[in-house]
Structure 1
Amino acid sequence: MNRIGVGIIGAGAATQAIHLPALAALGDRLQPVHIADPDQGVGEQVAARVRARWSADAQAVIDDQAVDIVAICSPDWVHADQVEAACRAGKKAVLCEKPLAKTEADATRIAEASTNSGVPVIVGTMHRYDPAFVAARSAWQGFGSRRVFVRSAIYLPDNNEMTSLATNQAGSTITPGAGPAPDETPEATAEALRNSVLGLAIHNLPLIRTLIPGPVDVLEARLMRPYGYSITIGDGLRIARLAALMPGRWDPSWTLEAWDDRQHLEVRFPPSYVLAGSSAAALTTQNGSRSWRFRESGYETQWRHVADVAAGQASPDVSVHEAVADLRYAIAIADGAARTVLERTS
């Protein structure tokens, strides 16, 4: 079987610790052939590890005829332009890291580019593909249809600690919240909170949206220093409590739980940057408990699905229009949280 060529835009921590190991696990089907990064030292080193070409310019990856799938792992403010370019080039599939975009207008551009070109665009929301979560969600009776309480809690150490477990990293990770003391004005706090939602909460919000479809109100929101949030959202019958904090001096913990009047769902995800298999998921009902855990991680399952889509063997499990709806949901929460901060200080 001829392997499908993958081009990657951005050679940072996610590429090194997540995507390249996942591609290696699927090496019988997928082959990194071209990596773009403006940092020559990092780009050349990472490309050499997988015997791929290196370019400083993202367009070189998009123009490469050996590249069938473009993985966009660049800063989020350039996602829309790069996805549009990959669609114009007629690639077989595009995998875009989250968030898909920073604005609804850019997300709409992406959806239009995908629809008009016929190029599938898949967002890198790996938890949506986590096989244990998918199994538990399928077992939940009436998923998202009744009164429900959801709790998402993310507590992580420094990103460098995570990446060092997965790879000998070229370059360095910028830990959220690191650097000079933040501006403490209400406007700066509101913007930092918005960014933390679109940078960290975005991992679980597509899952929460399946439980609480929205629209939702932001009932409470606070920025947690140095990086994180405490946010409560709801729609009257259903409530979600979102908490995150990093970096910290503790073992990583990443959980998602949901309760209704008959069931309790608990999912414990492995931390990002580590391919450690699927989550550990359990569903307890009046009739007993069931649990799931699989060898393959959400990253690997996602890449397997991208390969199937590129080969014409499957349609995207999550359409680009559904991905845009996920982003609108996240942006509404991010904007609502920022607005709550400003209203509290006005």
Structure 2
Amino acid sequence: MSSQAQASPALLGVGILGAGPVTQAIHLPSLARLGDILDVRHIMDVDPAVAEAVAGRVGAKFSTSMEELLADPAVDIVAICSPHQFHATQVIASCRAGKKAVLCEKPFAMTGEEAARIAAVSAETGVPIIVGAMHTFDPGWLAAEDAWGELPEQVHTVRSSIVLPPNPRFEDFATEIVGRIPAPGNDSTGPEAIKAMLTGGVMGLAIHDLPLVRRFTPDFAAVEVLHAETLSPFGYVISLRAGNVTIELRAAMNGTWEPSWTFEAIGDDAALEIDFTPSYVHAGSATARIRTVGRTTVLGPFGHNGYEGEWRKLAELARGAGQPPSAETLIHDLEFALAIADAAAGRVDTGRVDAGSAAGSTADQEVNA
């Protein structure tokens, strides 16, 4: 990537709030492949050593202040990669600073009320917002949407299944991580630890696929969790119903040698199966299969993944082209995730959650995969 001093005026400048592993191992490599349209101009992190080291990799300015980054005229697009509790404040500030587009890592708010405030500010300022649910921008998923016909109307079962090693393994393959903070340990199997793990699993990992799930669940507001179980060292098994659709959410982060991330939507006479690449693997898109009686249509893999897809969409929006996701979509996606997280955690109070395998887990484990 070119330095700020050498940047072409045709390039859109990117500023990033938060220089942790996701920025270092996912976003910067994605942006490096888009150097003809996007240029990293400013990196902010509360740790000055991390900010300087990460900015130095791409020839960008660094700071420890959100206000300084937002005041930088070289920044057109802001990416918010900070801890969850800062997202709403930083999204709103970025919109009010007059930037051309905002990317916010999931979740973009912690409550429905925060989401509504963000939507109102986006509408008032005209600044489009994208939430980093990268699978919704994956060319494999987009091709499936174009090809599946009436499948959503007949789907009765949806499954999201994720088996991954802990994030640091992928992060170390992708880049040299600066300033990684070890996840705190938690040996408790008590109700509060289990609640936290279920909530963290839904809002940190399952949330990547929940916008896809919601595509097949028109009655998403009627969420009933049937079973919720935690896995060691980190994982969950959650079964639920949303209207007439049965949903299975499964994840395990352990010492697996073969990562797997699959999504299925099964109807009466058609089915969709998508194999996604792990987030930290910069190796093209998902592959989708649409099966009907006697026929299987294979779509993909395509040349880029969902992270690169969302950056391409941001550049398009920043130039005044295309349509951003509607505020209603973003709010409903968040409300769906919060409802599942709350209902799963709520089963702990009834004593119906299996806590037997939760030892050694932590809800604070980084699950930005």
Q: Under a length normalisation based on structure 2, what TM-score does the superposition of the two structures give?
A: 0.89
Say how many residue pairs are matched: 342
- The partner residue of 2:142 within 122, 134, 138 is 134
Q: 1:182 to 1:109 in 2, by over 3 A?
A: farther
Residues 163, 256 of structure 2: 8 Å contact kept: no
Secondary structure of 1:202's counterpart equals helix
Contact 2:151 2:267 in 1 (8 A): no
1:335 matched residue in structure 2: 342
- SS in structure 2 opposite 1:222? strand
Alpha-carbon offset, residue 253 of structure 1: 0.8
Query: Is this contact kept in 1: 2:10–2:37, CA < 8 A?
Result: yes
Residue matched to 1:162: 170
Cross-structure match for 2:290: 283
Match of 2:32 among 18, 24, 35: 24
Per-residue CA shift, 1:153-203, capped at 9, x if unaligned? 1111121111122112222264xxx54233322123112211210000000
Q: Is the 8 A contact 1:128 1:134 kept in 2?
A: yes
Distance in 1 (CA, whole Å) between partners of 2:315 and 2:36 is 11
Paired residue for 1:153? 161
SS at match of 1:15: helix
Cα RMSD, aligned residues only? 1.6
Pair 34,147 (structure 1): closer, same or farther in 2 beyond 3 Å: closer
1:83–1:94 CA contact under 8 A, matched in 2: yes
Q: In the alignment, is residue 72 of structure 1 matched against residue 80 of structure 2?
A: yes
**CA-to-aligned-CA distance 1:37-75 (integer Å, 9 cap, x gap):** 011222111100100001011221111111110000000
Is 1:202 aligned to 2:207, yes or no? yes
Aligned partners of 1:320 and 1:167: how far apart in 2?
A: 35
Note closer, same or farther for the CA distance 1:182–1:147 as it changes in structure 2 (3 Å cut).
Answer: same
* 8 Å CA contact retained: 1:160, 1:173: no
1:204-219 matches, within 5 Å, as: 204-213=209-218, 214-215=220-221, 216-219=223-226
Q: CA separation in 1, counterparts of 2:175 and 2:310?
A: 20
Contact 1:222 1:341 in 2 (8 A): no
Q: Distance in 1 between matches of 2:150 and 2:81?
A: 36
> What is the letter of the counterpart of residue 338 of structure 1?
A
User: Which residue in 1 is equivalent to 2:365?
Assistant: none
Shift of residue 320, structure 1, vs aligned partner: 2.9
Hey, what does 1:321 align to over in structure 2? Answer: 328
Unaligned runs of 5+ in 2: 1-8, 354-369
Q: In structure 2, what is the equivalent of residue 273 of structure 1?
A: 280
Q: Deviations over 1:297-340 (max 9, x none)?
A: 11111111100000112221x22331111000000000010011
Aligned equivalents of 1:257 and 1:173: distance in 2? 34
Superposition pairs for residues 1-346 of structure 1, below 5 Å?
Answer: 2-172=10-180, 174=182, 178-213=183-218, 214-215=220-221, 216-292=223-299, 293-316=301-324, 318-344=325-351
Q: Secondary structure at the match of 1:255?
A: strand
Letter in structure 2 aligned against 1:52: A
2:151 match: secondary structure:
coil
Amino acid at match of 2:157: F
Instruction: From the superposition, tell whether residues 173 and 206 of structure 1 become closer, same or farther in structure 2 (CA, over 3 Å).
Output: farther
The question of whether the paired residues in 2 share the 8 Å contact of 1:43 and 1:54 is answered with yes
In structure 2, distance between residues paired with 1:122 and 1:298: 12
Unaligned runs of 5+ in 1: none
C-alpha deviation, 1:140, in angstroms: 1.4
The answer to whether the 8 Å contact 1:257/1:265 transfers is yes
Q: Is the 8 A contact 2:156 2:244 kept in 1?
A: yes
Tell me the distance in 1 between the aligned counterparts of 2:114 and 2:243.
Answer: 31
Cα displacement (A) at 1:135: 0.8
Q: Deviations over 1:67-95 (max 9, x none)?
A: 11000000011000001111111110000
Conserved 8 A contact 1:159-1:173 = no
Residue aligning to 2:360: none
Counterpart contact for 1:266–1:281, Cα < 8 Å:
yes
The CA distance in 2 between the partners of 1:257 and 1:345, in whole Å, is: 27
Distance 1:135 1:249 in 2: 30
